[in-house]
Amino acid sequence: MTTDTYVVEPIEELLAEADPDQTLAPCGLRQLIIGPGALGAVADSVTRLLPAPQPGSVPPRVSLLVDRTRIARSGEDVKDLIQAQLAARFTVVRTVLDDGHAELHVVDSVLDEAAGVVLGADAVVAVGGGTISDIAKVAVQRAGAAGSTPVLVSVQTAASVDGYTDDVSVVLRDGVKRTIPSCWPDAVLSDTDVIAEAPEAMNRAGFGEMTSMLVAPADWRLASLVGIDPTYKPSAVRLLGMVGKDLESWSAGVREARPESVGALARALALRGIVTGVAGTTAVLSGVEHLISHMLDQYHGAHDEPIGFHGAQVGAGSVIAASAWDMLFERLAAAPGSRPHLAALDHGPARLRVLAAFERVDPSLRVAEECWRDYSAKLDVVGRGLARVGAMLEGWADVRGELRDLVRPAESIASALAGAGAPVSLSGLEPSVDAELGRWAVENCALMRNRFTVVDLLTLLGWWEAADVDEVLERAAQAAAAAAPEGK
């Protein structure tokens, strides 16, 4: 029998330590419960969040949102256990969301169904992976807009992503993944016994997701330096440093599915999600590495091919992103007088690049047009602020150290991934990504969104031609080979 040893995390204390000047937004997450036995606290959590019942009142109504995937703890169905636990106190309506695919997607039809069933509920309990969590957050947000705001409790069943604890959701619109505002969950519960029994690839993918914090903050800071993203907050980066300071000490335990290491991973991912929410932007943890993952998802989804674990793709993408940064640092050290190429901002050739890149995803060019809307807007903003880009390059010696500190070397990231048993290269993913598809995703990743990253700066400098992309991929391959000789 499992001993209840879960911990209620002191969110407020951590935020106060990292952000004494209160520059970050308030955290809407009221409870974060992690550890063995946390599954048994679901009904208690709902009870604490709801107003005290009036004498003679009917039991509160709870909407239980799940997908078709069976999740077990010691052979018992987790969803059935939670439903029985809730039914002892509340009226429970269980909804199995299904879009007809082997894997559930966050598409409008599913969001509409979820929003409909939670309307009028007193509480929503979402059980499953990041997809169910994202759907529930949108559904509760819509219920609030309709004048009925249920409390939201999310039960995490795998440590594969960090999106449980933030206030945004990733949705699929016109074949393109987009991050939209949704709402904070009121509580997140992570039972490490359940998570340890999840397929090992899921938790290892979660470790891959973790590695974005070793590169993405540099993209965020870069966008701030060139005047494109004014949201950069050092306090958010400090909070990330607190999350990842002991990462190497438990990475090997993730490979072996040790409950204490899985618990450390779940805690780290939860705190990462909170960072995204209080920073007010996903840019703090989403740069080149996420763009590469989104590109792969976009291609596989368009061709009805299996979509790999997001976190695993992010991990392999982090090695590539760090390699791009390494190349930038070396080239600017060798050519300190480098200046932006105005031709990179010309809409004509840029539009042709976008159309050519995404025609292989959607021959109708609908996806290409969606991406062009974002990319052309980015070009316009860069063009208007070109003086800022030039000033940053002129003062590169003053900012290089700060940016370098925000990027872990590619070899170090690859070594950490290999230690956790996570893929270190695109070819090591499941399903595997061949060299041609991987190169397409990397070469064109900056064309899909309006976020400014190291690839955009390399493009501006004329250093993102075919040979430059090949060099970055070769650097990443060497880092991966050194960390995992078998290439996985």
With a cut of 90, say whether residue 13 has pLDDT above it.
no
With a cut of 70, say whether residue 5 has pLDDT above it.
no
Show the DSSP H helices in 28-170 as ranges: 42-49, 78-87, 108-118, 130-145
Residues 204, 123: Cα–Cα separation, whole Å:
32
Residue ranges and CATH numbers for the domains of the chain are: 7-198 (3.40.50.1970), 214-231+281-483 (no CATH)
Question: What are the pLDDT digits (tens) for 23-60?
Answer: 999 999 999 999 899 999 999 999 999 999 888 889 99
Question: What are the pLDDT digits (tens) for 446-481?
Answer: 999 999 999 999 999 999 999 999 999 999 999 999
Q: Using a pLDDT cut of 90, give the percent of the chain over it.
A: 78
Question: What are the pLDDT digits (tens) for 299-308?
Answer: 998 998 988 9
pLDDT at site 6: 53
Token pair in block for residue 10: 């002191």
Q: Is 46 helix (H, G, I), strand (E, B) or coil?
A: helix
Question: What are the pLDDT digits (tens) for 93-126?
Answer: 999 999 888 788 899 999 999 999 999 999 999 9
pLDDT at site 158: 87
Band (pLDDT 50/70/90 cuts) for residue 430 is very high
**Residue in this structure with the two tokens 């269980």, named with its chain if needed:** 94
pLDDT at site 9: 65
Question: What are the pLDDT digits (tens) for 330-345?
Answer: 999 999 989 999 999 9
Band (pLDDT 50/70/90 cuts) for residue 245 is confident
Q: What is the DSSP string of 141-199?
A: HHHHHTT---EEEEEE---S-SGGGSSEEEEEETTEEEEEE----SEEEE-HHHHHTS-
Q: How buried is residue 471: exposed, middle or buried, by Cβ count under 10 Å (0-12/13-18/19+)?
A: middle
Q: Is the dihedral of CA 155, 161, 165, 168 positive or negative?
A: negative
Mean residue pLDDT of the chain comes to 93
Q: Which residues contact 38 (CB under 8 A, 6 or more apart)?
A: 4, 6, 189, 190, 191, 192
With a cut of 80, say whether residue 175 has pLDDT above it.
no
Alpha-carbon distances of 404 from 248, 322, 328, rounded to whole Å: 20, 10, 11
Which helix H or strand E contains 479, and what residues bound it?
A: helix 466-483
With a cut of 90, say whether residue 150 has pLDDT above it.
yes
pLDDT at site 7: 54
pLDDT at site 3: 44
Mean of the pLDDT values across residues 244-251?
80
pLDDT at site 210: 94
Q: Using a pLDDT cut of 70, give the percent of the chain over it.
A: 97
Centroid of chain to Cα 363 = 28
User: What is the per-residue burial (b if ≥16 Cβ within 10 Å, else e) of 410-424?
Assistant: bbbbbbbbbbbbbbb
With a cut of 90, say whether residue 217 has pLDDT above it.
yes
pLDDT at site 471: 99
Q: Is 128 helix (H, G, I), strand (E, B) or coil?
A: strand
Question: What are the pLDDT digits (tens) for 122-145?
Answer: 999 999 988 999 999 999 999 999
